[in-house]
């Protein structure tokens, strides 16, 4: 068995990808710039892999989750009636969002952009913004991040709790290996975030939005996760 990539080598690869990404940010309007952006999208952002692995699942009637869609997949979704996409990758000038914005505009899909995180629980304001968006987003809609595993998983769980009345213990199944979520990784903190709400709900019956607004402490969740991991 080949040895795992050493930390220095892993860091050099990460630094190279960041430099590569920065060099290609911000332009797909000219042919050569577009070709460079496509290479970045295919290689650094793993779009080539996502052509065969979509991580696409139906969450609820008119609601779907997946990894980052490419323009061809967006065109197919539009033909099937998709009206909206929520990306959790945030505002950026990198290839993946530029291509997504272009494709959504071409096919009449409304794109909503929100920044969330995989390795730490987000702020109450961020989660409440997401829940408010669930109230108004035009359906059918798709929610995604890069791989459709962690950020998409916790967002899917929040949707089920808030919009479908699913118990948090059941909704937490959206963070599972079948979606490529690894609870033993740093992203496992998202499961603890949901567990923390489940415990509060069991004690007092508090609703998700009230808990986020009045009781939720992301730093306390992070500290507990680090302590439980022994780090």
Exposed/middle/buried for residue 183 (C-beta within 10 Å: 0-12, 13-18, 19+): middle
- How far is 151 from 164, CA to CA, in rounded Å? 19
14 pLDDT above the threshold of 70: no
For the chain, what is the mean pLDDT?
A: 92
Q: What is the pLDDT of residue 26?
A: 64
Q: Which domains does the chain have, with CATH numbers?
A: 30-229 (3.90.190.10)
Q: In sequence order, which ranges of 80-214 are alpha helices (DSSP H)?
A: 95-107, 124-136, 151-164, 168-171, 189-204, 208-214
Would the pLDDT of 155 be above 90? yes
Q: Chain-centre distance of CA 175, in angstroms?
A: 11
CA distance 108 to 102: 10
Residue 77: its pLDDT value, please?
98
User: Is 213 in contact with 175 (CB distance < 8 Å)?
Assistant: no
Angle (CA) 96-98-99 rounded to 5° is 70
User: Which pTM does this prediction carry?
Assistant: 0.87
pLDDT value of position 89 = 97
pLDDT tens-place string over residues 37-59: 888 988 888 888 899 999 999 99
Could you read off the pLDDT of 109-133 as tens digits, one per residue?
A: 999 999 999 999 999 999 999 999 9
């Amino acid at each position: 068995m080949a040895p795992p990539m050493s930390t220095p080598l892993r860091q050099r690869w990460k630094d190279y990808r960041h430099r590569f990404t920065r060099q290609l940010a911000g332009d797909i309007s000219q042919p050569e710039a577009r070709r460079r952006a496509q290479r970045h999208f295919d290689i650094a952002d793993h779009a080539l892999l996502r052509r065969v692995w979509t991580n696409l699942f139906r969450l609820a009637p008119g609601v779907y989750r997946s990894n980052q869609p490419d323009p061809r997949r967006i065109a197919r979704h539009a033909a099937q009636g998709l009206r909206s996409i929520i990306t959790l990758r945030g505002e950026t000038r990198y290839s993946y969002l530029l291509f997504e914005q272009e494709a959504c505009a071409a096919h009449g899909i409304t794109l909503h952009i929100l920044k969330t995180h995989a390795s730490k629980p987000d702020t109450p304001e961020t989660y409440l913004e997401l829940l408010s968006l669930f109230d108004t987003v035009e359906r059918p809609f798709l929610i995604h991040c890069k791989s459709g595993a962690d950020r998409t998983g916790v967002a899917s769980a929040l949707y089920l709790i808030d919009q479908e009345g699913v118990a948090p213990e059941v909704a937490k199944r959206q963070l599972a290996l079948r979606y490529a979520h690894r609870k033993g990784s740093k992203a496992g903190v998202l499961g603890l975030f949901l567990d923390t709400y489940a415990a509060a709900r069991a004690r007092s019956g508090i609703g998700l939005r009230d808990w986020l607004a009045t009781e939720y402490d992301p730093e306390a969740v992070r500290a507990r996760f680090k302590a439980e991991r022994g780090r």
